[in-house]
Each structure stands twice: as structure tokens, then as C-alpha cells.
Amino acid sequence: MKANEFLKEFLVGSEFFTPEEFSNLTESTQTESIKEIIMTVLTAVKEKVESFDTTPIDRSRGDIKQMKELVPLQQAITQLETMIERSEEVVSPELQRYLKEIIKSILYLNQYSSQFKEAYRDRKTLLVLKYQSMIMSIFSSVSYLVSVMIDFSAGDMQLRSRPEYEEIAPLKSVIEFNKMVERGDFRIALKDITAMREYFVELDLNKMALLESSEIINAVIEGIKGIIGNSDKFVEFLYKATGVITLVFSLREILYTMFRARTKFQEIVGNVEGFANAPTAGAGLLTRLNNFANRFVVDAEESTRIARREIESEDRGLATDIRMIPRRALQAQPSSQPVNNPFDLNF
């Protein structure tokens, strides 16, 4: 997809503009529109991630196999699969599909571990953000499926006969990542990220030294600031490498949702670990899992709705701003001064 095709999809596909209105946009207006969209999204993303603690994720330095939390995650998934296989209840095919998508996304993250590790070494801001967002999505998705599918209230673990659920942002993020990989879009984005590094460096070279895990998120924030600070050059680059646009937009819903959620990522990880250990634990853990499930399902669904409303509002505002671009360009032009005519007698 070229940059102008992305812009058309954003404006016309969302019915903000008619096809005729879009065709009337000049090339300079389209360029300024791309800048308006990407800078707005990146600014919002920066504000969101400033509140995140991604230390458990960043300890792995882009290699999911190095996450100590991966083992309980895999155990939790296996346990859920076993309960489904042994259940006499008919489990929703959609819920089973979600579980398969989660497993697939873990395999894909591992498949591209060398690229993610390189992103951490070279401070490739957007790719590090993609890795962080995918780890958050995977753990949140597993925690959500456990919370909606398992009934802990009777002092044991039973599959619910008719669980109520929604496609929350983490699940959607997992599914969309798998599609990006399978369509080849992710490979294109990786190529474009490499080209982007050759075009300009987001971080000052003095800040490229190996950082502690707890410092990675600050480096990411500084990297986003570097992109925003070089907005003209970045947008010029996007016209040659729109895989980066796809990557930026793939971050939006999950990061906005995690920002709105009351449940912290460390709590979600703890819940997954608790479920993995539940078969050998006592009633106290089951009570905690039950309490978490009741709270987390509501939180995950509501934060997804809020994030989606925020994105809709942001997009409407962007469409309005884009309509104003030609007018702003005219206002920025120096006004023509009247010529002094010696024969003008003010008649």
C-alpha cells in the first residue's frame, strides 16, 4: 500500500470524505494529512506508554524464550486446552479459535526473535513497542479466556457451560498480528524499519548504550520524541516505506486499551501464573482467581470500549483537521500589499 492509498482508506473507507472530496486533495495536502495523522497517533502513543511499566517484558530483550513468565504462560494454555478436551460441555468454536491464535502468535514472535532482539540492541523504537504490545496482548488474552471460561466459585475449576465474552483489544491485536505475518505485511514492515534506521536515528547516539530493563520504556519514549521532532523527514520517509504506517496503526488499539485498564500488566501476569499453579494449590488461590476474574472481565471489556471510542473521536478530529489544511496553507501565505499608485486620488 502506498501512502496516498493508506490516506484514501483512512478518509474514504471511514466515510469521513467522499471519493470526490478525496480526489480534490492536492499532493501537498495529502502529504500534510499523512503528517497530521501519524504525528497525532504517535503523540497519543507516547502519552500512553509514559505510564507503563514494561520491565518484565524488557528483561527478555526481544526474545520471548528468555521470559521467565513464558513457562507458566504455556502451562496455563496447556491446562485450558486439556480442560476443553476433557469437558463434556460443547465449547464455543470461537473461543477455541482464540486460543489457537494466541499459540500461533507466540510461535510467530519466536520466529522473528532475531529481529526483535536486534530492535532492542539498536533501539528501533517502533519495533520494540510492537514486541511490548504483543507480549501484553498475549498475557491479557490468556487471562481473559481463563476468566470468562472457568468457574472458580465452587472451590474448584469447571468450564462454564455458556460463557459470555467479547473480542477485546488484546485478542484483536493477537489476531491482527498473525494476519500481518501471514500476509507478508510484517516482513515488509521489518524491511521498512531497517530502511528507516538508515534514513535517521530516533535516539541520540549517546543514549544507545545497553540499558537496564527498567530504562527501556524511557528510551522508547525518547525515541518517539525523536521521530516527532523530525516529523517532516519522517513523513517524507513514509512515502517510500508505508509498512511503518501499518506498524504504527497496529499499536493504537492495544496501547490505548492498556492505558485505560485499571488492571496492571503485572497483575495479569500474576493471574496467569496463579492459574498455571491452581491444580496443586489450595482454596485460597482459587478464591483469588475467582475475584480477579470477576474484576478483570469487566475491566478488559470496558477499557476496550473506551479505547475504541477514543480512537473514533481521534479519527473524526483528524478528518476535521485535514479539511482545514488548505485553509491553513492560504492563511500562512503573506498577504498581498496594495501598490502605491501616484495617480490614485482616492476616487
Mean predicted confidence (pLDDT) in 269-278: 95
Give the Å distances, CA to CA, from 290 to 75, 142, 236: 19, 15, 51
How high is the pLDDT of residue 328? Answer: 76
pLDDT digits (tens, 9 = 90+) for 196-207: 888 877 876 565
Q: What's the whole-number average pLDDT of the chain?
A: 91
How high is the pLDDT of residue 345? Answer: 37
How high is the pLDDT of residue 1? Answer: 64
Mean predicted confidence (pLDDT) in 205-211: 60
Q: How far is residue 230's CA from residue 138's CA, in Å, rounded to a whole number? A: 33
**3-10 contacts: CB < 8 A, separation 24 or more?**
3/30, 3/34, 3/238, 3/239, 3/242, 3/245, 4/30, 6/34, 6/242, 6/245, 6/246, 7/33, 7/34, 7/37, 10/37, 10/315
User: 340 pLDDT exceeds 80?
Assistant: no
Give the per-residue SS3 of the chain. Answer: CCHHHHHHHHHCCCCCCCHHHHHCCCHHHHHHHHHHHHHHHHHHHHHHHCCCCCHHHHCCCCCHHHCCCHHHHHHHHHHHHHHHHHCCCCCCHHHHHHHHHHHHHHHHHHHCHHHHHHHHHHCCHHHHHHHHHHHHHHHHHHHHHHHHHEECCCCCCEECCCCCCCCCHHHHHHHHHHHHHHHCHHHHHHHHHHHHHHHCCCCCHHHCCCCCHHHHHHHHHHHHHHHHHCHHHHHHHHCCCCHHHHHHHHHHHHHHHHHHCCCCHHHHHHHHHHHHHHHHCCHHHHHHHHHHHHHHHHHHHHHHHHHHHHHHHHHHHHHHHHHHHHHHHHHHCCCCCCCCCCCCCCC
How high is the pLDDT of residue 169? Answer: 98
How high is the pLDDT of residue 139? Answer: 98
Q: What percent of the chain has pLDDT over 70?
A: 92
How high is the pLDDT of residue 202? Answer: 84
Mean predicted confidence (pLDDT) in 157-181: 96
How high is the pLDDT of residue 346? Answer: 40
Mean predicted confidence (pLDDT) in 177-205: 90
Q: How far is residue 125's CA from residue 218's CA, in Å, rounded to a whole number? A: 11
How high is the pLDDT of residue 347? Answer: 28
Mean predicted confidence (pLDDT) in 217-234: 92
The grid coordinates listed for 85 are: 478436551
Residues forming a β-bridge with 159: 150
Q: Which of 11-20, 84-93, 338-347 has the lowest mean pLDDT?
A: 338-347
pLDDT digits (tens, 9 = 90+) for 129-138: 999 999 999 9
How high is the pLDDT of residue 342? Answer: 42
